[in-house]
Structure 1
Amino acid sequence: MTGPATFARPDRRRPEPLWHQAGEALRALIADGTWTDGTQIPNEAKLSELLGVSRITVRHALRNLEESGLLRREHGRGTFVRSSTVIAGVRGLTSFTQEMAERGLVVGSRLIEMAEIPASSEVADALEIPAGSPVCMIRRLRGGNDLPIGIQTAYLPVSRVPGLSAMTGPLPSLYELLRNRYGIAPQVAREIYRVGSVSAEDAELLDVRAESPAFIVHRIAADNHGPFEFTVSIMRGDRYEIRSKLYL
């Protein structure tokens, strides 16, 4: 259960709905570290008292935060902070950095390897280039709020990104770099998700046991000149979810 926390009580004079204000007050406690990952938050009755709003308003706010991936409800136990989980669903074409920011997480990225290599047949097919063509391979450990979430390996044709593999220093958001340095702006991407397991090599980086469940995600991104990126991501099964809303 949480310790003392300062709640920003909703103001009925403001134009925003009370449930929205209540949700932002709770989100702020997660963002500033008052409520850390795994923390059990107060129940609806207590939150209603602390925020000065009805339980229905609190329930609406909690449901939105749960759908955003910041909270998880466990039947018979309560509601817990889940700030290190990425919820994937219907969304625009964004980078991992943007996904983290949209969910209020502090992005973490560690470069494991960057080199120029010949394209394998799989990479070549994805990028629509001849097998053996030079590609820049970028392998990074990605995280949120100082917790590892996945390993991403991106392949880009050297003809589109000359000199990229020779870069030194911290690597910014890949899409930001491509846009600012090479004038490449993604227009469309195709992603394929499948269930797999974490290899022994990746397990140490992801801080899980070998063969732990994972999502394997293949992304091919293209601009008006064709495919420019093929990325293979290994995402921890306990920190990455896919949710969809279905309509009749």
Structure 2
Amino acid sequence: MKIAINHKSPIPLHIQAEELLRKMIKLPEFQDGKLLPNEIDLANQLAISRTTLRQALNKLVYEGLLIRKKGVGTKVADTQISSKSANWLSFSQEMQARGIPIKNFELHVSWIYPTEIIANFFNIKTDQKILKLERLRGKPEGPFVYFASYFHPRTGLTGDEDFKRPLYDILETDYNIIAELSKEEISAIAADKFIASKLETEPGSPILFRKRYVYDQAERPIEYNLGYYKADSFIYAVESRRG
């Protein structure tokens, strides 16, 4: 791969450097812990300042794609998955956008009576059954997240859908329900025996616990989602822009 940027392009140099880095980290020569060229050499090769290069590097470090260690260098982060809250998608769409192959290890559909908390969220009674979707998902080499999703009866889901398809695609394409708004709560918890067995870890291991409340275009609740992520396999990144 030719490592160069176009100084005559109207695209800012740090953006070009960022895109170049995104291509570089996919190359075999930078896998398995091998270091990227040091900042001075790479900046000289690209004929840009170290400040410009560092701006691009910082973006990829922030996204969890690179790891930088003082006195050692910069390498590709290959053990953790990154999720960003801006422009949220279904899990399948998130991972597809990042080029990460995902395997479904378990998929269970059932009709259950909601707890009081879930019933209150949906503004229904606890004696009205709702659809529950459980999925254990991860990379081909092992699971790293367990999801439990509960759906408002209004969605029309029957349980016979092909849930290997992206969830929000099913809702929009098959039921004309557009997931417009997501509100989330994120916390750290210790894995209980159930979650530990699902994620193939030890009870008491750190887990990133994410609650997601999903609403349609009229801001009516349609999904109550609980996600349990292995802390050593997942980074949750939040990007905010002032103004």
Aligned with 1:108 (options 102, 112, 126):
102
Q: CA deviation at 1:157?
A: 2.7
> 5 Å matches for 1:75-94?
75-83=70-78, 84-89=80-85, 91-94=86-89
Select 2:206's aligned residue among 197, 209, 213. 213
- What amino acid is aligned across from residue 218 of structure 1 in structure 2? K
1:233 is aligned to 227
Give runs of aligned pairs for residues 1-248 of structure 1, distance below 5 A. Answer: 6-31=1-26, 35-36=30-31, 38-83=33-78, 84-89=80-85, 91-102=86-97, 104-110=98-104, 111-143=106-138, 148-163=143-158, 165-168=159-162, 171-223=164-216, 224=218, 226-238=220-232, 239-243=234-238
Residue segments in structure 2 that go unaligned for 5+ positions in a row: none
Contact residue 124 and residue 132 of structure 1 kept, 8 A: no
Q: Select between 112-121 and 145-154 the one with higher mean Cα deviation.
A: 145-154
Counterpart residue identity of residue 55, structure 1:
R
Alpha-carbon distance in 2 for matches of 1:206, 1:136:
23
Q: Do 1:190 and 1:219's aligned partners in 2 also have CA atoms closer than 8 Å?
A: yes
CA contact (8 A) 1:116 1:136 kept: yes
> Does the CA contact (< 8 Å) of 2:65 and 2:77 recur in 1?
yes
> Matched residues in 2 for 1:46 and 1:24: separation?
18
Q: TM-score, normalised by structure 2?
A: 0.82
TM-score normalised by the chain length of structure 1: 0.80
CA–CA distance in structure 2, aligned partners of residues 180 and 203 of structure 1: 35
Q: 1:21 to 1:188 in 2, by over 3 A?
A: same
Whole-angstrom CA distance in 2 between matches of 1:200 and 1:116: 24
CA distance in 1 between partners of 2:34 and 2:194 (Å): 31
Q: How far has the Cα of 1:47 moved from its partner?
A: 2.5
CA distance in 2, matches of 1:145, 1:25: 28
Distance 1:200 1:36, change over 3 A: farther
Q: Which moved more, 1:137-146 or 1:170-179?
A: 137-146
Distance 1:243 1:79, change over 3 A: farther
Q: Structure 1 residues 243, 45: CA separation in 2 closer, same or farther (over 3 Å shift)?
A: same
> Per-residue deviation at 1:123?
2.3
Gap runs ≥5 in structure 1: 1-5
RMSD (CA atoms)? 3.0
Deviations 1:203-231 (A, max 9, x none): 34434333221221111111127211000
**Separation (CA, whole Å) in 1 of partners of 2:215 and 2:32:** 36
The number of residues matched between the two structures is 239
Q: Distance in 2 between matches of 1:33 and 1:204?
A: 34
Who is 1:3 aligned against?
none
Q: How far did residue 247 of structure 1 move?
A: 6.6
- Overall identity of the aligned pairs, in %: 25
